[in-house]
Amino acid sequence: MSKCKNNQAKKTKSKDVDTLVEKFPLHLTNKQITLARNLQREAAKVWNAACTVHRTIYIKHHCWLGEGAIKAFVKGKFGIHSQSAQAVVETYFEACERTKALRKQGYTQWRYPEEALFHRYLETAWHHPQRTGTNTIQRAWQAATQT
């Protein structure tokens, strides 16, 4: 049995669904730009914390934490909605898995995610408001646009 809590085998997700992504220009006011930058900074803090905790636990206890353990660690500790924080952690683990797979194929120039670069800004993922209800990002956005 592993020394680390929540270090279980990751369940594989079905990838049978195509996702349509649209990009469109936003015309934001200065207040909205400031708010968006603050949210990106918070997302970067989540990334750096996930990277730091992931590597520190391995160095001290010689076991890798699972995605669920890191999600539990970052939950409620940052100024973004919990789903956005979870999306950042998922992106971090996807990068680790992709790098591991590419290195096995012989692409040794690929490097694992590092916190040494200290991301200052990271794109924030927010979900459709009708599905998730009012969240922190929406409340912050409404407060910024009302004043």
- Of 36 and 126, more confident: 36
Between helix 30-61 and helix 136-146 the angle, nearest 10°, is 150
In terms of phi and psi (left: phi > 0; alpha: psi -120 to 50; beta: otherwise), the region of 114 is beta
3-state secondary structure 70-122: HHHHHCCCCCCCHHHHHHHHHHHHHHHHHHHHHHHCCCCCCCCCCCCCCCCCC
Higher per-residue confidence, 136 vs 69: 69
pLDDT at 144: 57
**pTM score:** 0.66
Using an 8 Å Cβ cutoff, are 25 and 31 in contact?
no
Q: What angle do CA 24, 34, 114 make, to 5 degrees?
A: 80
- For residue 111, what are the contacts with CB-CB under 8 A and spacing of at least 6? 99
* Greater model confidence, 77 or 116: 77
Mean pLDDT taken over the chain: 76
Given the structure tokens 């049995």, which residue do they identify? 1
What digits encode the pLDDT tens for the residues 77-115? 988 888 888 988 998 899 889 988 998 999 888 888 775
Which pLDDT score, from 0 to 100, does residue 36 have? 84
Give me the mean pLDDT over the 32-54 stretch.
88
pLDDT value, residue 12? 53
Domain spans of the chain, in order of start: 30-140
**Cβ atoms 84, 140 nearer than 8 A:** no
- Per-residue model confidence (pLDDT) at position 136: 53
Q: What is the mean pLDDT of residues 4-17?
A: 55
pLDDT digits (tens, 9 = 90+) for 118-144: 567 666 655 544 444 445 555 555 555
